[in-house]
Amino acid sequence: MGPDGLQENDVYLRTAVSVDSSGWAHYDYVKMPDYRWGIFLTPPEKDRTIGFGDNANMAAWDKVPGEFRSDLRRIIVTQADTEPASVEQQRLLGHSCPSLYDLRNLLQVNVEEGRHLWAMVHLLHEYFGKDGRDEAEEMLVRRSGNPDTPRILAAFNKPIDDWLSFFCFTMFTDRDGKFQLGALAESGFDPLARATRFMLTEEAHHLFVGDTGIQRVLQRTCQLMNEIPDGDVTQRGGIPLQVVQKYINFWYSASMDLFGGEDSSNAANYFGAGLKGRFGEQKDKKISDHLALDGYYELEWMDNGHMSNHQIPMRRAMNLVLRDSYKEDCEKAVRRWNKVVAKMGVDFELTLPSQRFNREIGVYMNQPFSPSGEMLSAEDYQSKVSNWLPTEEDRAYVISLMVQVREPGKFAGWIAPPAKGIQGNPLDFPYVKFDHNN
Ligand code: BYC
Ligand code: FE
Ligand code: FE
């Protein structure tokens, strides 16, 4: 279920060879089937203790604590399941890569997501015995988008048929990964903490691919807008800024759902047990209360026909707290993109939709909120939603632009080249080698 074709091509990949911070990355041509799926754990911290919850300050676990076994297994299974799901979603994109540089980045992301699955399956096999092995087998049965055996979380069943979706996914959905992995890196179950810490070092590149990918689309569109001031960029094969905004709305709202419900007893249990912390639980100076037994998170939602204020006890609001860290991170990127657009003299501002918009999970689920968070009537929402989410025509247009570009240094017309190549190599470096057979 990996990338379709491309098994025989030499790909200029980064491979993790050890965990020490200076020398873990090794760059060379590798055929994907030969990519080394190592299991990497960051070095153990001597006398590590649990950093939060009811078991705070006790020794971290190096075996599965019996009373939390099923919660822990469930967290690991949910995390593991997303990794192959993303590879399945992306498996056909190689056929329409906008450049060899982009193709290489796609394949780099794919092999690392494969490795992440391997790292999580290792935990299941090593620490959970038979039921862990059974869960690992199930992982091989589920398939992204399969109506009978879908992947666990909804965003991982949505198709990624074009590269604008791929960039939005790596920007917004991989970024959920950054925050979920960051929360698991705090775990009192030490093997999980050490595995996810190392995964996070790879995750940074996935986010880079998404962030710069969207930025390059914006740059190319603005360039076309400047060349044909009153014209329509679609006449020149560009992607209109409004369409980019709709894709952002789609993937950002789908990724918000990956944090679970706003008021969650699961989240409270995971935190209380010391299984899943907040982002930066140990390092962030702003987090000083590691018990979170006091205080409330206040949130407005619809109740008996009107919006009213609710107080969520802090531990039950941990999904929301994590999501807020995520939102802040996304906002920074959007501000950077807007600077790029403004610098090119184009008057357009990208925004992130409200947390209430287009939700399938939690307290705003299936309610007609606008991207600015306003409650609308169902009819009003229906009449406007084509301005906010990609329509069939938008998708068909974006897909029509997707043609494979294989000549080193050349880029498809809908995207600007990146600022620089990979690992000091020039843009026209053959990042993926094709011969006449493939
Ligand atoms: N879809 O208490 P609640 C990544 C269920 S991405 C479907 O609100 P909880 C990556 C839930 O199971 C990071 N069902 O939620 C990125 C529960 O069911 P039960 C992935 C959902 O449990 C790109 C009920 O609704 N990592 O690595 O606190 C490429 C009430 O749930 C969903 C993780 O997810 C949903 N979205 O939170 C490659 C970390 N949300 O109990 C990779 C591990 C909730 O009523 N997972 N439900 O049967 C977790 O920590 C939690 O399971 C979640 C859900 C945050 C996902
Ligand atoms: Fe991953
Ligand atoms: Fe990732």
DSSP letters spanning 131-187: HHHHHHHHHHH--TT-SSS--SSGGGGS---SHHHHHHIIIIIHHHHHHHHHHHTT-
**For ligand 1, mutation pick of 255, 266, 320 (most atoms within 8 Å of CB):** 266
DSSP 101-133: HHHHHHHHHHHHHHHHHHHHHHHHHHHHHHHHH
Q: Distance (Å, rounded) from C-alpha 155 to C-alpha 77?
A: 16
Residue nearest to atom 33 of ligand 1 (CA): 79
Structure tokens of 366? 């299936």
- Give me ligand 1 centre to Cα 219, in Å: 35
> Is residue 5 situated within a structural domain?
no
- What is the pairing mode between strands 432-433 and 296-303? unpaired
Instruction: Determine the distance from the C-alpha atom of residue 346 to the mean position of all C-alpha atoms in its chain, rounded to a whole number.
Output: 29
pLDDT score for 177: 98
CB atoms within 10 A of CB 381: 17
Task: Let me know if residue 222 belongs to a domain.
Answer: yes
Instruction: Summarize the confidence of residues 162-191 as an average pLDDT.
Output: 98
Report, as an integer, the average pLDDT of 51-70. 98
Question: Which residues does ligand 1 sit against, CB inside 6 Å?
Answer: 75, 78-79, 82-83, 86, 113, 153-154, 173-174, 176-177, 180, 257-261, 264, 266-267, 276, 319, 361
Which listed ligand is nearest to 181 at the C-alpha? Answer: 1
Q: Whose CA is closest to atom 5 on ligand 1? A: 260
pLDDT at 50: 98
160 domain residue, yes or no: yes
Kindly report the pTM of this predicted structure: 0.97
Distance, CA 270 to ligand 2 centroid (Å)? 21
Q: What is the pLDDT of residue 54?
A: 98
For 372-420, how does the pLDDT look when each residue is reduced to its tens digit (9 = 90+)? Answer: 999 999 999 999 999 999 999 999 999 999 999 999 999 999 999 999 9
**287 lies in a domain?**
no
In a domain, 303, yes or no: no
Band the pLDDT of 436: cuts 50, 70, 90. low
Closest CA to 83 of 130, 16, 136, 27: 136
- The residues near 424 (Cβ < 8 Å, ≥ 6 apart) are none
pLDDT in tens, 226-276: 999 888 999 999 999 999 999 999 999 999 999 999 999 999 999 999 999
Structural domain boundaries enclosing 220: 10-277+322-433
The answer to whether residue 291 sits within a structural domain is no
Q: What is the mean pLDDT of the chain?
A: 96
Question: Ligand 1 centre and the CA of 292: distance in Å?
Answer: 21
Give the pLDDT confidence score for residue 437 in this predicted structure.
Answer: 60
User: pLDDT for 100-143, tens place per residue?
Assistant: 999 999 999 999 999 999 999 999 999 999 999 999 999 999 99
Listed residues: CB within 5 A of ion ligand 3: 174, 177, 206
DSSP string across 329-376: HHHHHHHHHHHHHHHTT------PPPTTTT-SSSTTTT--B-TT--B-
Q: Measuring from atom 36 of ligand 1, which residue has the nearest CA?
A: 258
Q: Answer whether residue 2 is part of any domain.
A: no
Kindly state the DSSP code that residue 189 receives in the 8-state scheme.
B
Task: Check which CATH number belongs to the domain holding 34 and give it.
Answer: 1.10.620.20
Exposed, middle or buried: residue 22 (CB in 10 Å: 0-12, 13-18, 19+)?
A: exposed
Q: Please state the domain count of the chain.
A: 1
Token pair for 35: 């990519």
Residue 265 lies in a domain: yes
Helix (H, G, I), strand (E, B) or coil at 13: strand
